[in-house]
Structure 1
Amino acid sequence: MTPVSYFPHQNNEMYVEGIAIRDIAKQVQTPFYCYSSSAIEASYQDYQNAFSDQDALICYAVKANSNQAVLTTLAKLGSGADVVSMGEIHRAISAGIPANKIVYSGVAKTQDEITYALSLGIFQFNVESEPELELISKVATSLNTTAAVAFRINPDVCAQTHAKISTGKAENKFGIPISKARLAYKQAAALPGIKVQGVDVHIGSQLTSLAPFKEAYQRIAELVIELRADGHDISVVDVGGGLGITYLDEVIPSKQTYADMVKAQLAHLNCKIILEPGRSLLGNAGTLVSTVVFVKTGEERQFLMLDAGMNDLIRPSMYEAYHQIIAVNKGTKSLKTYDVVGPVCETGDTFAKARAVHESDAGDLIAIMSCGAYGAVMSSSYNTRMLAPEVMVKGEQFAVVRKRPSYEDIINQDVTPDWL
């Protein structure tokens, strides 16, 4: 799916499913996030179909987009959830995802979080360290229950992606080094309240090649065989997420090709497969719609100054991420080169430099594409800017699924002490 598959232009006007973006903007005001329900459903069903001949559970990575409407859409399709906090567990349960389809990842789970997850009966803890394992054992024993666990194994495989979203190298903070895995599993088997059931791996995000996955899964398969020889009953392999999307012209392996590779590397183990897609489900299902405030002519370049800023979409500032930037109404104007920037008081508040966009004037609408994942969830009210609302479209209807707060909502979160 490309960035514009669900946001096509008809007679030069951008649509999402059966609604013109301009019509939504008239009612909601910019900036706002807009999601296609059909795009989310289609991406999920692609995974479902691709893994239909395997014993697989799709656990959506909630961190990619945690809006309740998104989670409810996926819950109704049968999705589980990969969570990294107590808050994400609350969100998943509230959206109707059953606890026995929740896997709990994250490097610093607290006692309260572990207690809550155990009380619900989640499917599995993906354990990141030996101290975490000991705490899970302690909490499970105190509750007279058993925690099903898989160690997250760091296979020391280069994901060939951006350094800030690569998680499977030896220098990364995630997981147990594969060289220490057998010792860690031996420790787990000796602890009370622990049921060793799986192995977990996740090497990074926005992967565009299957080669790193294949290398990691080969190492995991060898490890499973070794662990079984050591007496551990390994019945689950969590292959993580990380399959990329097309932001510009990247060629991404199909979900079927990915599923075939997983089967080729792991089927002989006869394990249940857990997969944790996030970006590849939501990324191209969403856009950030903004309005041109000014067109400014500088000494060396022209600036397209938008009402959306880095507080709304931080990926370009944080990751040097590329997002297509498209005029909502292309009209008959030709392309022109701009630096596309926001209103935040930071030089880093830049979406693109020297980018060709259809010539625009103040008041024109601009769509920043591929924002369904890691957009709204990473936003903030920096500069006391109101969070952009989120809109979901299905067919010819839309709803605001997270409203824009008022300034009073933001300010009233603060408390002035009596002694001031």
Structure 2
Amino acid sequence: MTTDAACDRTTPLRAGCQGEPPLTARLEPWMAELLADREACHDLVERYGSPLNVHDFAPLTRNAAELTAAADDAGVDLRIFVARKANKTLGMVEAARRAGLGVDVGSFRELEQVLAAGMSADDIVVTAAVKPRPTLRLALDARATLVLDNLDEAAAVDAEAAGTERGAPRHPVALRLAPRPSDRIPPTRFGESVATWLTWARGRDADHDRLRIDGVHFHLHGYDAGARAAALGEALELVDELRALGHRPGFIDIGGGIPMSYLDDAEQWRRFWQEHDDRPDALLWRGKPLEQVYPYHQELVRGPWLRELLALPVGPRTSVAEALRDRGLELRCEPGRALLDGCGLTLAQVVHRSTTSDDVPLLGLEMNRTQCRSTSDDFLVDPVLVRAAGGAREPFTGFLVGAYCIEAELISRRRLRFPDGAGAGDLVAFPNTAGYLMHILESASHQIPLASNVVADGGGYERDGIDAVSPIRPM
């Protein structure tokens, strides 16, 4: 489906701001409805400040159902955990709980908050890259599944679990596998090899150890289904060897990295990169090329991607799905973006227009670049301009800049065109930011408060509970 076909009804919304060339973001119906209501948008920013993260988690259930349907069709049991690190709101946790999903946590506070929110320990997996002793203690006390990353961490868990009373329930753990690097699988800092984990497991009593090995986990960078299949092959090898030792792992967890698309139009994405390479000076700030970006359009996303993965070979005569079914293994995953697709947008207020000393037009926003950025070089889809009431403005083409006192404080490095102008009091909306873009890098430098977060509630929007435990803009 092309952008033109998909977005006819939202064309007026998009007319105020377009990239050169355009990258037209998909808008959920709730986003289009809100952005078409100029008064509602300005009232929200007036009440909660700029920038403001606006959420509606209704799409999360639909996104998860797409994955579940793909697994069901392949006869595979699937358990989905939402990556909490992708969005810090308690509204997301509640939406996951209502949808029957689990939550993947990456820190003590994330774990503490989801427990306080009423999530069952069976629905929590602790995958934190670094787990200090208090995090281990809380996970063990709660009986949430702990993913063991390395031998030092495993030893620390043993030390913490040593005080467990004899006869008490055993603590559930999963072993994080570091797959062998290959042309398809890059080296990783996460996990240990099959051989290392087997050496560790051989010295343990499979029936009476305080730790119960429930599964195998891995974490890969990128979105290649073939790489996941190769890693699954190694994970199956580890499962088989653990079972031969008397352990009973019942799942393989492929982590995150399930793809999504911010754009419907593949041709726009292709054209952007062609022009990026041919004339970066016309597209980008100071002509500096982008180096690391999220693939904003992907051909296979969510359900179709999972169907492809499950059909890939994992041995000479068997597919991933067949291998999982034959062993009675549950497949687990921990998506972030793919589940939060369509669940949020960010509103920021224009404070001023200006120019650089060499006459490049700028639009200054009351936000900073960490408030709409992940680990990629840039947020690439076209923003939506929500005009303030008032007279006409002069058209211009320029760049969005933020509040930090840094020469390259760019909200977007793309050159943007404002056919009807823009100025102080207008709002700029960044679509589809709920997954990582709002929170993963946000900073309160310069003593500037973090953005507030609101969640759809009964036809309106209410401040999310996370703002009660985070530095926020005063009312």
Aligning the two structures, in what range does the TM-score lie when normalised by the shorter sequence? 0.7 to 0.9
Task: Give the Cα separation in 1 of the matches to 2:68 and 2:299.
Answer: 18
Matched, 1:343 2:403: yes
Aligned counterpart for 1:134 among listed residues 143, 155, 165: 155
Q: Which moved more, 1:389-398 or 1:238-247?
A: 389-398
| TM-score between the two structures when normalised by the length of structure 1 | 0.82
Q: How does 1:368-407 map to 2 (within 5 A)?
A: 368-374=430-436, 375-393=438-456, 396-401=459-464
- Tell me the equivalent position of 1:182: 198
Indicate the larger mover: 396-405 or 342-351: 396-405
Q: CA deviation at 1:390?
A: 1.2
Structure 1 equivalent of residue 283 of structure 2: none
- Match of 1:319, SS state, is coil
The aligned counterpart of 2:235 is 220
CA distance in 2, matches of 1:7, 1:397: 26
Tell me, yes or no, if structure 1 residue 201 matches structure 2 residue 245. no
Unaligned runs of 5+ in 2: 15-26, 264-268, 270-296, 312-318
* Residue of structure 2 in register with 1:415 after alignment: none
1:151 matched to 2:148? The reply is: no
2:88 paired with 1:66: yes
- 1:418 aligned residue: none
Aligned residues of 2:452 and 2:473 also touching (Cα < 8 A): no
Q: For residues 348 and 236 of structure 1, what CA distance do their matches in structure 2 show? A: 46
Determine which of 308, 313, 334 is the counterpart of 2:367.
308
Q: 1:323 to 1:100 in 2, by over 3 A?
A: same
Structure with a larger share of its residues in strand = 1
1:256 aligns with 2:256: no
Task: Give the alignment of 1:4-403 within 5 angstroms.
Answer: 9=10, 11-12=12-13, 16=31, 18-20=33-35, 22-29=38-45, 30-52=50-72, 53-122=75-144, 124-144=145-165, 145=168, 146-157=170-181, 169-170=186-187, 172-189=188-205, 192-204=209-221, 207=223, 209-248=224-263, 249=269, 250-260=297-307, 261-262=309-310, 264-265=319-320, 266-298=324-356, 299=358, 301-315=360-374, 318-329=375-386, 337-359=397-419, 360-362=421-423, 363-374=425-436, 375-393=438-456, 396-401=459-464
Q: Is the 8 A contact 2:387 2:422 kept in 1?
A: no
Secondary structure of the residue aligned to 1:378 is coil
Q: 1:152 to 1:245 in 2, by over 3 A?
A: same
C-alpha change, 1:258 and 1:403, in structure 2 (3 Å) is closer
**Bigger RCO of structures 1 and 2 (CA < 8 A, at least 6 apart):** 2
Partner of 1:164: none
The 1:404/1:185 distance shift into structure 2, 3 A limit, reads closer
Is this contact kept in 1: 2:386–2:429, CA < 8 A?
Answer: no
CA RMSD of aligned residues (A): 3.5
**TM-score under structure 2 length normalisation:** 0.73
- Between the aligned partners of 2:353 and 2:59, the Cα distance in structure 1 is 33
Give 1:230 deviation, angstroms: 4.1
Q: CA deviation at 1:330?
A: 8.5
* Deviation digits for residues 350-370 of structure 1 (CA, Å, limit 9, x no counterpart): 122242343432122212233
Helix, strand or coil at the partner of 2:383: strand
Deviations 1:97-129 (A, max 9, x none): 21111111123322222222122222x211001
Deviates more, 1:347-356 or 1:275-284: 347-356
The CA deviation string for residues 64-116 of structure 1, in whole angstroms up to 9 with x for no partner, is 11211111011111111111222111221233321111111123322222222
CA shift for structure 1 position 203: 0.5
